[in-house]
Structure 1
Amino acid sequence: MLDSNEDGQHGYPLMLTLALAALVIIIAGMKAGSDLIVPLLLALFIAVICTAPVQWLNRLGVSLRFAVCITLLVIGALLSLVGVLVANTFWTFIEALPGIEDRLYEHYLDILASLADMGLAIDPDRLAGLFDMEDDSAWVPMLLGELGNLVMQSVVVALLVVFMLFETLNFRTKVSQALDDPAPSLRRFHEFSLTLKRYLAVKTLISLVTGVLAWLACVLVGVDFPLLWGVLAFALNYIPNIGSALAALPPILLMLVSQDGGLFQAFVLATAYLAINFVLGNLVEPRLMGRALGLSTFVAFLSLVVWGWVFGVVGMLLSVVLTMTLKIALNSHPQTRWIARLLGPGRQTDDAPAVREEREPPLERVDKAE
């Protein structure tokens, strides 16, 4: 008869196998249902960010329902204004794209010819034949189809955000009525929601500042379509490690082939992008978030690969946000806190401020709002 220690030793491989099998099934299910899950995730994160101004208005004396309406109207107006400006800039960029492609192609041929003159075994004519320039308009229908799909997804996400914000008005009341002892669950959920809101707010603020500074750098250097590159820098700043480089590549290439640009202007723009991302990503963001809200470099890059494979481009944009959400959820429970520490950058400190005050509206205030 085996003792308890031997039972535990034989049970660990079985538990590990079952955990890995469950993980494979969960990941396969998320990948299969990505068309449904992606809008839900986007709406959830946007709704979490929107709860901060709702609670701020509520502390000023505005009712919760009216605060939600004001927040939705303000955010909708701002997004509509930015969307119109970006759309106008984007279509101007599309109109100028054939000329930009021709200049890029000429520079490409010049580089190949220079390499061939240096003695490298390169045939410029043969390599140039690999690029078929006759079907340049074939991508236009595909682009219009993707834009139409993006508009439909945006409408679905906007509606989900509206319903989620109104659902949060009586969420705590529902939990208190559904559970016999709701205090521990509400406390853990409260800690999780505060930490997640803080992380999303800081990340969004850093991305917004990055986009504004990138737009300003493009304006000062003289790059065409600066608003488009600023919005691109804001969006790609959510992608770890390679997002900043991807955002800097198009305006730098455009500066190289521009009639008013050149190698020096492109170098200045690249230096500006490097300085912006170094200061904000390595100095400002860790101080605002704290080391406890960080991820190791390997985990951040692995999350980029995994979430990008599961959810596509949206998964790459939300890779760090999704992994940080998982880490915050694991850290909110004592039995899974060790997993959250494994996802961290290493030596943990108390840089991240603890939750000190109740920011969520208490149940009494929610009941009165209802």
Structure 2
Amino acid sequence: MTDRRTAPRALIVLLCTASAVIVLAGIREVGSILGPLFLALVLVIAVSPIRTWLQGRGAPCWLLVAAPLAVVLLVLLGMVAVLTVSVAQMAGLAPTYARQFNELVVQAQELATRLGVGTDQINQAIRSFDPGKVFTLVQGFASGLLGVFSGLVLIIVLLLAMCLDAPVFSRILSSGAAHRPRLIDALTSFARNTRRYLVVSTVFGLVCAALDVTALWLLGVPLPLLWGMLALITNYIPNLGFIIGLVPPALLGLLEGGLTTMLSVIAAYMAINFVVQSLIQPKFLGDAVGLSTTVTFLSLLVWAFVLGPLGALLAIPLSLLARALLIDSDPGGGWAAALISGEAPPGDGHGGPSPPGTG
């Protein structure tokens, strides 16, 4: 009996994995459409409390659409403006530090000679390290996002359509709760957790960005406002966002003020990140994400590969939607939910076995 039950389960896992690969490949091929579509969906979810608040106070239908749409457009246009300025400033930033970089090369060669490292070895290492490449990577990241936002007309049309359909869609979900309760609960949880994740991440991202700008200004690092905005944007990228936001100002600190300034920038960023994002933010975010550290990192890699920079920014909401549709809506998906969240399901471990049918 055990073998006859195990074989089909392994086959199902294999087929599901193959299907996931095919689906992700298809999403990647139409990423230029699905990326803006999901961005519009996330933005509409983020401002849905405004519509609910206005609806509760008897606001007219046109205001229920116009107010959330206006807020979303302000945020969207602000991000486009910041990314445009960032790309323009980074394009001309690296060449201005050619002299400082040459001086650092000479100092590194002298230090290597004193330490007994061969000149050929150190020259090869220095040639492989080009600070311009760091700015190129950051500029490419910003340009990728800007490329998504360049289809602003498509995004605005999607936002308008979703804002118009939001009241109707909400009523449809409410009426379907009796027929598909688990699916409706899963989608409701997805919207709630996504909104909570965005709000908390934005608030603490602004706090971190303000502290980062202050630290960079005190240390004399150029363009502190630009790097503060970069820190805010990369705050939505799990695991690797902090490093992406740290490298450019740290490198500028090295070129502008030497090793001491670079180490000061790194120390300031690490201290701010540890206090705000590691100690304080988790207390407010709680279990809204519902993804383990490993799954979060893997989701970042997968969605960045599928949708590019926009996938990296939306990795958590995309994974939350996938969890809602594939796991939370399945009555037998409790074990999978526990696996990806890293938390034992209720009744397991010391609490004894779960009742039959609870997952």
Fold-level match, TM-score > 0.5?
yes
Judging changes above 3 Å, is the alpha-carbon distance between structure 1 residues 325 and 100 closer, same or farther for their aligned structure 2 residues?
farther
Q: Measure how far apart 1:170 and its partner are.
A: 0.7
Code of the aligned partner of 1:171? F
Q: What letter corresponds to residue 225 of structure 1 in structure 2?
A: L
Partner residue, 2:280:
284
Unaligned runs of 5+ residues in structure 2 are 347-359
- The 3 A distance-change label for structure 1 pair 85 and 202 is closer
CA contact (8 A) 2:334 2:345 kept: no
CA distance in 2: counterparts of 1:51 and 1:62, whole angstroms: 14
Query: How many residues end up aligned between the 2 structures?
Result: 338
Equivalents in 2 of 1:145, 1:16: separation in Å? 38
2:16 to 16, 19, 39: 19
Q: Which runs of 5+ in 1 are unaligned?
A: 350-370
RMSD: 3.6
Q: For 2:52 and 2:116, locate their aligned partners in 1 and report how far apart those are by CA, in whole Å.
A: 68
**3-state SS of 1:25 partner:** helix
Within 5 A, what are the aligned runs for 1:214-225? 214-225=212-223
Question: What is the one-letter code of the residue matched to 2:331?
Answer: P
Report what 2:94 is aligned to: 97
> CA 1:277 to 1:10, structure 2 compared with 1: closer, same or farther past 3 Å?
same
| Structure 1 residues 284 and 28: CA distance shift in structure 2, 3 A | same
Asked whether the equivalents of residues 176 and 184 of structure 2 are also in contact (C-alpha less than 8 Å), the reply is no
Equivalence for 2:266: 270
Shift of 1:316: 2.3
C-alpha contact 1:308 1:315 (8 A) present in aligned 2: yes
- TM-score norm. by structure 1 comes to 0.77
Classify 1:120/1:162 alpha carbon distance in 2 versus 1 (closer, same or farther; 3 Å). Answer: same
Residue of structure 2 in register with 1:357 after alignment: none
Structure 1: which amino acid aligns with 2:315? S
TM-fit CA distance, 1:148: 7.2
- Are the counterparts in 2 of residues 211 and 234 from structure 1 also a CA contact under 8 Å? yes
Q: Tell me, in whole angstroms, the C-alpha distance in 2 between the residues paired with 1:147 and 1:180.
A: 41
TM-aligned CA deviation for residue 79 of structure 1: 4.8
In structure 2, relative to structure 1, the CA distance for the partners of 1:169 and 1:86 (3 Å cut) is same
1:164 is aligned to 162
Moved more, 249-258 or 74-83: 74-83
User: C-alpha displacement at 1:266, in angstroms?
Assistant: 2.6
Question: Percent of pairs identical after alignment?
Answer: 29
Deviations 1:74-131 (A, max 9, x none): 4434554565466456534544432124423432343234213421123366666779
- The letter of the residue matching 2:313 is L
What is the CA distance between 1:289 and its match in structure 2? 1.9
Q: State the alpha-carbon separation in 1 of the partners of residues 9 and 82 from structure 2.
A: 58
Give the deviation of 1:229 after TM superposition. Answer: 0.6
Pair 36,76 (structure 1): closer, same or farther in 2 beyond 3 Å: closer
Instruction: Give 1:144-293 correspondences, 5 Å limit.
Output: 149-175=147-173, 181=179, 185-258=183-256, 261-291=257-287, 293=289
Q: Which residue in the other structure is 1:334 paired with?
A: 331
How far, CA to CA, are the matches of 1:332 and 1:96 in structure 2?
Answer: 50
Q: Distance between the aligned counterparts of 2:71 and 2:43, measured in 1?
A: 14
Q: C-alpha offsets along residues 133-157 of structure 1, whole Å, 9 cap, x if unaligned? A: 9xxxx99xx9998687344234432
Alpha-carbon separation, structure 1, partners of 2:22 and 2:29:
10
- Local SS of the residue matching 1:335: coil
Q: CA deviation at 1:254?
A: 0.7
Q: Distance in 2 between matches of 1:129 and 1:344?
A: 43
Say if 1:266 and 1:147 are closer, same or farther in 2 by CA, change over 3 A: same
